[in-house]
């Protein structure tokens, strides 16, 4: 699942993300394609992935994508001779390649997209299983435990402020569930376990939540400890070493068994934790195209969108995109990533 931590502060929005690269693009036949009714033969379509995993692993896993895309694009009226798949040296390298037009298509996180949206256009957002809870009201999450996956696909996820079994954590949870609002002093007196500053769910979006509610940032909190993983953060919460942790919305589902078996708790994670705050939606990774690609036009964008949606619905296609924890794709717009833009502003301001 792409709720993981983005490895680079410039790419926030995480995610968790994908893999990309820069490669030259050339075409034969008309650039206009579907727009002009001329030949829709494309010599080469270049696709890049961000290096969120080992590049060799990504190249190997996505190899079947070449024939799948050729097949689906043929149904859309496009004959593609070569699909060039590569992995970028960095998230920025992929964004820059899309902006320059040396890359036609990029599988990139939302954070990368908003950094390079002057030269990149989002077509689709990755989807994954939705959750039984999605309210911005933390009480709803606490009243409807446990959170479960649903059959409905979602293009975004949320980050949660989760109070643990410590005396302070329980007191904060009780206050929320009784309908009271938490004060800044309530939160500032608690100990927090957070992720690195480049983590969407573990830092950036919780910071946005604090900004919206208290005009504060995570860095303003007195007692914060940075964890190296969500597992260690959850262990710290279970041990009472942290009163609050921030994590992607289904983190408690992922660590439900460990809570008792590894972390030594007697009661379940659902009985001993409460949600204190819910962030705005964090939109999933994107499939974006270059605004400056020599072959890109309205007809090709429409065909690519439909082709990737179809691939995401096929069994063979699902196996390919599973490496990025994607389960499918749906149409996305630039406005969907406005929260990611706010996140970028927040991080830039904090860096000054």
Structure confidence by residue, pLDDT tens digits, 305-346: 999 999 999 999 999 998 887 999 999 999 999 988 988 787
Please give the full DSSP string across 199-244, using - where no structure is assigned.
-IIIIIHHHHHHHHHHS--GGG-SSEEE-SSHHHHHHHHHTTS-SE
Q: Extract the tokens encoding 75.
A: 């149904």
Is the predicted pLDDT of residue 29 greater than 80, yes or no? no
Contact in structure between 52 and 93 (CB atoms under 8 Å): no
What does the pLDDT look like over 186-228, one tens digit per residue?
999 999 999 887 678 898 899 999 999 999 999 999 999 999 8
For the question of whether the overall pTM of this predicted structure is more than 0.85, the answer is no
Is the predicted pLDDT of residue 2 greater than 80, yes or no? no
3-state secondary structure of 107: strand
Q: Where are the beta strands (DSSP E) in the chain?
A: 41-49, 79-87, 105-108, 120-131, 149-154, 156-157, 159-163, 192-194, 224-226, 244-248, 274-278, 282-283, 286-290, 328-331
What does the pLDDT look like over 261-311, one tens digit per residue?
999 999 999 999 999 999 999 998 899 999 999 999 999 999 999 999 999
Is the predicted pLDDT of residue 173 greater than 90, yes or no? yes
- What pLDDT sits at residue 1? 39
- Confidence band for 10, pLDDT divided at 50, 70 and 90: very low
């Amino acid at each position: 699942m792409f709720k993981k931590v983005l490895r680079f502060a410039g790419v926030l929005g995480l995610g968790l993300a994908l893999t990309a690269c820069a490669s030259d693009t050339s075409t034969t036949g008309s650039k206009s394609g579907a727009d002009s009714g001329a030949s829709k033969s494309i010599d080469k379509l270049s696709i890049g992935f961000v290096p969120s995993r080992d590049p060799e692993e990504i190249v190997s896993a996505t190899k079947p994508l070449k024939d799948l895309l050729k097949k689906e694009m043929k149904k859309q009226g496009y004959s593609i001779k070569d699909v060039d798949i590569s992995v970028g040296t960095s998230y920025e390298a992929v964004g820059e390649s899309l902006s320059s037009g040396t890359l036609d298509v990029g599988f990139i996180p939302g954070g990368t997209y908003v950094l390079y949206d002057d030269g990149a256009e989002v077509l689709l957002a990755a989807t994954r299983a939705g959750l039984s809870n999605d309210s911005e009201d933390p009480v709803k999450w606490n009243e409807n435990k446990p959170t479960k996956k649903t059959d409905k696909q979602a293009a975004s996820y949320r980050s949660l402020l989760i109070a643990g079994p410590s005396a302070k954590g329980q007191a904060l949870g009780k206050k929320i569930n009784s309908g009271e609002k938490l004060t800044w002093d309530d939160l500032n007196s608690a100990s927090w376990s957070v992720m690195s500053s480049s983590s969407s769910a573990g830092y950036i979006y919780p910071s946005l939540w604090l900004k919206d509610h208290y005009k504060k940032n995570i860095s303003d909190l007195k007692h914060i400890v940075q964890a190296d993983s969500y597992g260690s953060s959850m262990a710290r919460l279970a041990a009472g070493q942290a009163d609050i942790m921030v994590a992607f919305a289904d983190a408690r589902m992922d660590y439900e068994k460990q809570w008792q078996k590894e972390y030594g708790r007697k009661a379940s994670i659902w009985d001993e934790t409460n949600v204190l705050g819910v962030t705005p939606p964090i939109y999933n990774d994107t499939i974006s195209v270059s605004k400056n690609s020599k072959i890109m036009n309205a007809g090709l964008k429409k065909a690519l969108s439909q082709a990737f949606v179809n691939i995401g619905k096929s069994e063979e296609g699902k196996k390919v995109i599973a490496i990025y924890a994607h389960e499918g794709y749906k149409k996305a717009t630039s406005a969907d990533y406005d929260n990611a833009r706010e996140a970028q502003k927040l991080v830039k301001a904090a860096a000054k």
